[in-house]
Amino acid sequence: MTIELLLSLGVILGLYVLIYYNFIRGRQCRSDSSLKGKTVIVTGGNVGIGKMTALDMAKRGARVILACRVKETAEAAAYDIRKLSGNNQVLFMKLDLASIASIKSFCKTFLSSEPRLDILINNAGIEAKGKTEDGFNLVFGVNHLGHFLLTHLLLDRLKQCSPSRIVVLASRAYRRGRIDFKNLNPPGETWKEILQAYCDSKLANVLYVRELANKLQGTDVTCYAVHPGVVLTNLARNFPYWLQVLIFPFAWLLLKTPEDGAQTSIYCAVQEGIEMYSGRYFSDCQVQQVLPLGRDDAVAKKLWEVSEDLLELSN
């Protein structure tokens, strides 16, 4: 390899590092808040953003519950986090957000075995075809309805342990979302339908947090919607293999790492002084204004009521 080639590669690498750290990586959470004596649930805490969020919570001394569907990867993640953080209070509890029965079982087990819940991080998400165990569109069912029910069942414990927080992983994809109350359960079979369902679910996340904040007024529980940035995770694991192969080289170069993608979730979980922004949308570790479709209080209220009906919570 010639000196000229080595120099060229060095320049290219240097430029990439400059571009990544100045334009892709985004802001970092600088809070040094301790979470000793506190308990945190992270859904989907076995991989990607969720795992990096859980690792940070563990490093701060929290008792961390990885609420995950797949036992093998979750137990491996819990082992990794314990080893990296030096905190042995990291454990797995089975939770399948595509199953009402599983959500209820998780909450029953958690509430009977864990006296505290200080931070609930609704991180898990999916982008795939199919239906949930209860017949809902899989994407909408997991990303919105599953977390809606989970939060509902854990809310009293959060109130008892206040001041406490709820963080919901949304996405800038909400901008392309729509809430069609006549068609909240589309087939979700084609990739166009799946992508639209994902955008719809992220809009639902933003609206849900807005309405949740209204209902939490007068309590010491606050909630935040989070856009992590465009992150290299396994969210696209259900894409066709040829598409994964095609986009991976570009994704590896141009997307945030899971650690950097976790920063805004971490910020909203631990940063002091943001309580006044309960119900708001955060990106890059700062509050952001959302488009009008994400600020529609009438739609947010109706979505809450319809969600309760679908989950049979209003009976």
**Amino acid sitting at position 35:** L
- CB of 81 closer than 8 Å to CB of 58: yes
> Which amino acid is located at 160 in the chain?
Q
In the structure, how many helices (H) and strands (E) does the chain have? 11, 8
- With H, G, I as helix, E, B as strand and everything else as coil, classify residue 73: helix
Q: How far is CA 34 from CA 4, 38, 91, 105, in A?
A: 50, 9, 19, 30
Residue matched to tokens 């994964």: 244
For residues 299 and 200, the answer to whether their CB atoms sit within 8 Å is no
Name 224's bridge partners.
167
User: Which residues are the active-site residues?
Assistant: 198
> What is the rounded CA–CA span in Å between residue 8 and residue 13?
9
Are 124 and 142 contacting, i.e. CB atoms less than 8 angstroms apart? yes
DSSP, collapsed to helix, strand or coil, labels residue 29 as: coil
CA distance 24 to 263: 13
